Structure 1
C-alpha cells in the first residue's frame, strides 16, 4: 500500500464520518401506507413507508419510524400546515403500514391497531396508545376479550367520539401481520371489530355476509342512531381465494344501534372498481345530505390506478364525478390518507405513484388540500389550506343532482330505484344527536400542541459528535499509516519525490461532494393568488403535484427489503 493509498483511505473515512444523516423532512420524497388522526386541530401521521430523493438512487421503501404531526393553524409559506418531526417513539412501538389510528379527542389519546410489519417477524397483537397531552407511547395490557383478535391490515376503520369506540371492518391476515402465519396465503376477513377505548375491550361481530373484504373505506354518518358506510376495495367470494373487485355501486351500511347490516344500490356516475384509495365525509348543515368524497386508488387488476375525485351523496345514493373535468394522464397514486378538518376541507396526504418517479410536493411533505365546498374566491377544488374555514357548504355539483342550496334543503332524498330495504328509508329520516362525553382523566383547561423545539438536538452536540468522529478516524488512519511505514523497508524513488502539494486538501475532500440546490415547481402550471390565498392551478390534469430534483441520501437504518407497493 502506497502513501497515497493510505491517505486516500483516511480521507474517505473522514468524508463518510462528516456526512450528515438524512432528514425525514428535508430529504422527503414520498410517504404512503401511513395512518393519520386528529386531536385538537393537530394532525398526527404515523408509520407507513417513506421514499427519499431521488428515487433512482433510493428505490426501496423505507419504514417510517417517526410520529409526525402538523398543527393546522400553523400554515407555512407554501400554504399548508407545517409538518414537524420532533416526537419520541420508542423502539418497541410498532412501525406498521396499513394500520389505523383511532383518536379519542375527549381524553386526548390515540390508539394504534393493525397494520403490517415491513421487516422482521410481526409481534403479538397489542394496542399501543399515544398520549397527546404528555407525548408518551405505551402498550395496553391485553384484555380477556382480546384472546381471539388478530392484527389485520388494510381494512377499513373509523373512530366514534360519542362512544369512545373504534370500528374496523375486514382487512388482511398474513405473515406480515400475524405471528406464525407461515406460508399460508393472505386471508381477507369478513367480520366487524369494535374496540372500547375506555374499557379496553373487544367485540367481534359478523359482517354483511361471509365474504372477506379489504382495501376499501368506511365512514361514519350521524343518521338514525349512527351508521357506518362501506364501499370499494376487493373481496374474496370464492373458496379458492380469488380476489375480485367490490362493485362500487354496492354500498354496505351498518346500523350501530341495531347491530344490523344493509346493502343499497347506488346510481349515477359510478366509479371504476379500485382499492387503496382514501375518503372522508361531511354533511349539509340541515343534515339533508351526507356527502362522501374519495380520491385516487389502485386498479384491481394491473394498471397505474386513478387520479380522480368522486362524491357519493346520501340518502339519494348518487355518484358524482367531481375531478378532473378534462381528460389527461394525471398522476395516479394510492395508499394515501384523507383527513377532514372542520367538515369543510380535506387534507389528502401522500400516496405512491406507480407510473412516475416524481416526488410528492417535498416542500409540504406530500400534503394536498381539497375544498369540499369549494369555499375560496376562485371556486377551486385544490387550494391552500385556510384554518378559518370551519363550516361546510354544499357545492353546486351536488346541488345540481339533489337540489337544495349550499346550506342544505336537498329535494332528492331517495335512491333512483328506491331503497333496497325499507328500514333504510326510516333511518335516513332521523338525525342522531350525540350526547356530550366527559373525559375520564384530568384534562388541562388549555392544551398545547407538541413543542416545535421538543427533542431538537443541540448544535453543540452535533458539532462535538462530528469533531469527535473525525478525530477518531484521524487517529485510526495515523496508526494505520505508522504501521505501514514501520513494515516498509525503504521508500521507492517515486515516493520520495512525491510532494506535499500533490495531496488533496483535507477540508475540501472531507466536506463531501457539493449538493445541488433544492428546487420545487409545478408540473407546467401556475400559482395564482386567491385574494391572499394561493390556489394551485395544475398541470394538464389540474392536479396539485410538485416536482423536486434535490438529491438526498436514504435515512432510515431500518430499511425494508423490498418495494412492496410502488
Structure 2
C-alpha cells in the first residue's frame, strides 16, 4: 500500500511540474529575436540597435526606432526570451539610421551611431547618446565628412583604454581605408581615414565584408585583429552566391594602432572552414601572456553547399594558432544541422562570452518567430568552454587546458609560445607583440536604478496555452494539488505511526520549482563623473518607444527565406 501511494504521489507531482513548465507562456513584450544589428559594450551596458527585432505578441523581424541595452551588472536567465525588465530601451532621433549597417563607436559615457542604411549622404557629425544622463545630441567631428549613410557589413572595434573606435571594409565602397575616431576629448572629437601603406611588409586596409575584428591589448597602444568574411578587393571566382570569394581563415590582418599600419600574418593549427557573419570575443590570460579570440558560428554560402555553423574556434595570439574548441553544457541548439549567423558577441570580464541575437538556421533554412528552441541570448563560460543557463555578473577567466596545451603555461597564463610558426616576418612585428597595454583599474560598480513598479511577469520558455482552455487547466491544477495534499496527509500519518524519525512528509520533501534568478545589486555608490577610466555606469533614463509597424503574432514554425541574393548581407545589411 505504501509503495502504491508513493508511486501515485510521485506521478502526480511529476505531471504537475511538467504541465506547469510546458504551459507557461512567454510574456507579451519579450524580445525573442535580434539579427543584423549593431552592438557595443560600454562599461557594464551592452547597447543594441539597427537590427531586425521580433517581439512576443508584437512585430516580427521589424526595424524599429529604438536603442536597446542590457545591464551586465545583473544576473539573468538565458534559456528563453529577454523580458522587458532585462531589456531596456529608449527612442532614437527620427533622422538617426535605424536599419542595418554601420557600427557603434564608444567613449567615456557615450555611444555614437556611425553610418548605416539610410541614404547616400556624407556628414561630419554623428548622433550620440549619453548613457549617464539619457540624452541624445549631435556630435560634431573634426576631420571631414567621413560619416557615410550607406555603409554596411564592415568591421568595427573599440579601444576603451584610449577612447578610440575603428571601422574598415564593408560591401559598399565610398570610403577605402580605416576610419579612426578619437574621442579622448569629449568636447573636441576627431577622426581620420588611414590609407597609407608604409614600412616593411605593410599592407593596405583589409577589404573585408561580414568578417570579424577585435581590439587586443598588445603593442604600445593596442592592435586590431581582423579575419574571415568576403574578400571585396577583387572579383570572385563564382564559388559563392555573391560576387566575391570567402577569405581563407589562415590570413589574419593586424593593425598596429600606434603606427597606423596594417600587416598580414599567417595563422596555423586547426584552420576553420571559410565563413562569414560569425561573432568574436576576446579573453586575456590573467598575466596577459596570451589572448584568446573566440569565434562562434557563422555561415558559408558556397554555390555547391551553403552551411550554417554552431562551432567554436579559438585564435590564440601572439602565437596565431587556431584551436577547435568543443563545448559542453547547455548547448545552443538541441537539434542537428542548426547554426547561427548575423549575431554579435561581447566579452564580459574575460570569463564570459555573451552571444546576442542572430539568425538561426536548420539545414541552412531560416527559423523565424518566437521559439524556445532558439533563444536570443547565449552565454559561454570561456574558462570551462561550457554553455550556461544564466548570465552571471561575477566571473573571472582562467586559460582552458585546450589552450595551455598548445601555448604552454597553465590556467594562470605563463604562455611560452609567443610567435607564429616560422617566427616574425620582421623586427617591427616582434616589437609590437612583445608589449601589452596595461589593464584598466577595476572600478567600483555603480548601483542599478530601481526597476519599474509594475514589472512584467517572469518568463519560462514553453508553448503558449490555448486561451479557451485556461479555466480547465486551472481547475485541473487545483484539483491535482488537493489530491496530492490528501495523499501526502495519509502518508504522513502512516510513516509517523511506524517510524520515530520522520519530521517531513514525502510531499514536503519534494523540491519545488526553482525561483527566478535573483537580480544582484551592488552597494550604493556615488555616480562616477565622465572619465575614460570609468568601467561602469548607471542605467540610462528610459522613454516609452513606439515601433514602426503594427503588432503581429509570431509562430514557432519555420519560415523559409527568399532565395534572392546579390551580396552577402547576413550581418549588418539587408538583401537588395
Query: Which TM-score band (shorter chain)?
Result: 0.5 to 0.7
Shift of 1:408: 0.3
Q: What secondary structure is seen at the aligned counterpart in 2 of 1:74?
A: coil
Q: What secondary structure is seen at the aligned counterpart in 1 of 2:117?
A: strand
Q: Select 2:33's aligned residue among 6, 30, 53.
A: 30
Shift of 1:77: 5.0
Q: Select 1:193's aligned residue among 163, 179, 191.
A: 179
Q: What secondary structure is seen at the aligned counterpart in 2 of 1:400?
A: helix
Q: Select 2:231's aligned residue among 209, 231, 235.
A: 235
User: Residue 77 and residue 162 in structure 1: after superposition, are their counterparts in 2 closer, same or farther (change >3 A)?
Assistant: closer
**What pairs with 1:52-451 in structure 2 (closer than 5 Å)?**
52=55, 61-76=61-76, 83-104=86-107, 107-117=108-118, 121=119, 124-125=122-123, 126-141=125-140, 143-151=141-149, 152-173=151-172, 187=173, 190-197=176-183, 198=186, 199-206=188-195, 208-209=203-204, 212-225=207-220, 226-238=222-234, 242-302=243-303, 303-323=306-326, 329-354=336-361, 355-357=365-367, 359=369, 366-374=376-384, 380-389=386-395, 391-433=396-438, 447-449=446-448
Query: In 2, distance between residues paired with 1:437 and 1:367?
Result: 26
Shift of 1:219: 1.0
CA deviation vs aligned residue, 1:266-307 (integer Å, no higher than 9, x gap): 011101111111101121111111110011112143514211
Q: What secondary structure is seen at the aligned counterpart in 1 of 2:424?
A: coil
Q: State whether residues 189 and 213 of structure 1, in contact with CA within 8 Å, keep that contact through their aligned partners in structure 2.
A: no
Query: In 1, distance between residues paired with 2:449 and 2:275?
Result: 37
User: Residue 516 and residue 254 in structure 1: after superposition, are their counterparts in 2 closer, same or farther (change >3 A)?
Assistant: farther
Q: What secondary structure is seen at the aligned counterpart in 1 of 2:340?
A: coil
Query: In 1, distance between residues paired with 2:393 and 2:117?
Result: 34
User: Residue 77 and residue 392 in structure 1: after superposition, are their counterparts in 2 closer, same or farther (change >3 A)?
Assistant: closer
Shift of 1:190: 4.0
User: Residue 314 and residue 424 in structure 1: after superposition, are their counterparts in 2 closer, same or farther (change >3 A)?
Assistant: same
User: Residue 343 and residue 77 in structure 1: after superposition, are their counterparts in 2 closer, same or farther (change >3 A)?
Assistant: closer
Query: In 2, distance between residues paired with 1:91 and 1:45?
Result: 17
Q: State whether residues 235 and 244 of structure 2, in contact with CA within 8 Å, keep that contact through their aligned partners in structure 1.
A: no
Higher relative contact order (CA 8 A, sep 6+): 2
**For the aligned residues, what is the CA RMSD?**
4.0
CA deviation vs aligned residue, 1:77-106 (integer Å, no higher than 9, x gap): 5579852334233333321323322222xx
Shift of 1:407: 0.6
Give the number of equivalent residue pairs. Answer: 424
Unaligned runs of 5+ in 2: 1-25, 197-202, 237-241, 457-465, 471-513, 518-545, 552-560
Q: TM-score, normalised by structure 1?
A: 0.66
Query: In 1, distance between residues paired with 2:43 and 2:255?
Result: 28
Shift of 1:163: 2.0
Q: State whether residues 112 and 127 of structure 1, in contact with CA within 8 Å, keep that contact through their aligned partners in structure 2.
A: yes
Shift of 1:136: 1.5
Shift of 1:153: 1.4
Unaligned runs of 5+ in 1: 1-22, 174-186, 439-444, 458-512, 518-530, 535-553
**What pairs with 1:403-552 in structure 2 (closer than 5 Å)?**
403-433=408-438, 447-449=446-448, 452-453=451-452, 514=467
Shift of 1:425: 2.2
- Larger CA Rg, structure 1 vs 2: 1
1:528 counterpart residue number: none
CA deviation vs aligned residue, 1:31-54 (integer Å, no higher than 9, x gap): 111222233422222221113569
Q: TM-score, normalised by structure 2?
A: 0.65
Q: What secondary structure is seen at the aligned counterpart in 2 of 1:272?
A: coil
Shift of 1:260: 1.5
User: Residue 92 and residue 337 in structure 1: after superposition, are their counterparts in 2 closer, same or farther (change >3 A)?
Assistant: same
Q: What secondary structure is seen at the aligned counterpart in 2 of 1:116?
A: coil
Query: In 1, distance between residues paired with 2:348 and 2:469?
Result: 37
Query: In 1, distance between residues paired with 2:48 and 2:469?
Result: 29
Shift of 1:236: 2.1
Shift of 1:139: 1.9
Query: In 1, distance between residues paired with 2:254 and 2:469?
Result: 53
Query: In 1, distance between residues paired with 2:137 and 2:105?
Result: 15
CA deviation vs aligned residue, 1:291-350 (integer Å, no higher than 9, x gap): 100111121435142111110001111101113589983421211110111111011011
